[in-house]
Amino acid sequence: MAKREKFSIFGREPDTKKGCYKFYQEKKNSWPINYVLNKEETEHMKNMMDKFYYSPLKPELVQDVWKKQRDNIIEIKVTYHEVYGASGGKRLEFWTRKPTYKMSPTIGMVDGKFADYDKDGKPFLMETIDDPGKFFAFSVARLICFGGDGYKNESLKPKAAVKQALGECIVSDKINWKKNQGYRPNIDPRMDAHHISGKEFNTIYLKYLSTLQMDEDKFVKWIYPEHGNFETNHIVYSNEGFGWKLKDTTEVGRVVGETFWDFHLKNREYELINPGEHRQITSKEIKFNSEIKNKIKNIL
């Protein structure tokens, strides 16, 4: 059996990808929202990004951007994730220019009436942003010391990228369904709209392909003909939000997006689940299935 590649992060002894990821998650969870990494933590984070922030296909979008901004970073701050909000985890903001504020005129109340000045003739003022500053939300999750070989995000293989783009089509449907169940984003504990057993996303996806009378390889090749060629495909990668999306600038991207939305809506059925509990259940199922598969392999 080949030895597992090991990586050293945060000054630790070399560890497996799984061990590195677990350590980092525990470290991140210990940082409260709005926490600013101290000098030592900042250096560890920068070193980790130097070594393991990598895209094999699009270096100009990943490691080249990091290298260009690395020495300009003046602060690394923990904030809410831009997609999932307060109930969905944290992200790191790498600030290269901090925001500045100024006092601007506003309206106050004098004797029950709106006024620009108080009784002493002083203007009512409020703090407003003068310069929003600039930060980069580098996707730390893509670090190769946490798994994979760099083929993540914009470098995903065509099949995975196409499926992610189709998944992005239905995000708003999931959000609206949760709200219709009375779920309050950023107030209630995180709950996910999860496809019920027998009507999983992949099941609906394969049924959609069957309806098109097109096998998966042909469908993927149609949507994303050449790996790494962003010009000829019908999906687009966005650094903000959910990643891959179907293009609305091509007829193929637009029509596939519309038809998959309609097909999914007709066939889907959700349930609200706690994602943490669900991951534990899924992990046990994967382990069990792997044991069954390995037993059969041993006697083939």
- The whole-number pLDDT of residue 9 equals 95
Question: Environment class of residue 287 by beta-carbon count within 10 Å: exposed (0-12), middle (13-18) or buried (19+)?
Answer: exposed
Torsion sign, CA atoms 99, 100, 104, 107: positive
Write out residues in the chain with pLDDT < 70, as ranges: 1-3, 82-88, 239-242, 277-283, 285, 300
Estimate the share of the chain in helix, then strand, then coil, as percent rounded to the nearest 5: 45, 20, 35
Task: Please answer whether residues 45 and 136 qualify as being in contact, where contact means their C-beta atoms are separated by less than 8 angstroms.
Answer: no
**Inter-CA distances, 161 with 94, 143, 164, 189, 220, Å:** 26, 18, 5, 30, 9
Per-residue pLDDT, 80: 82
3-class DSSP assignment, residue 238: coil
Q: Model-level pTM?
A: 0.67
pLDDT score, position 86: 42
Q: What pLDDT is recorded for position 296?
A: 79
Task: Set out the domains of the chain in order of their start, with CATH numbers.
Answer: 17-98+133-146 (3.10.450), 101-132 (no CATH), 156-299 (no CATH)
Integer Cα distance of 163 and 244 in angstroms: 9
Give me 139's structure tokens.
Answer: 């996707």
List, for residues 140-171, the tens digit of each pLDDT value. 888 999 987 888 888 889 999 999 999 999 99
Question: What pLDDT is attached to residue 83?
Answer: 54
pLDDT for residue 87? 42
Distance, in Å, from the CA atom of 199 to the CA atom of 206, rounded to the nearest integer, reads 11
Give dist(CA 271, CA 197) in Å, integer.
10
Measuring CA to CA, which residue among 111, 110, 78 is closest to residue 92? Answer: 78
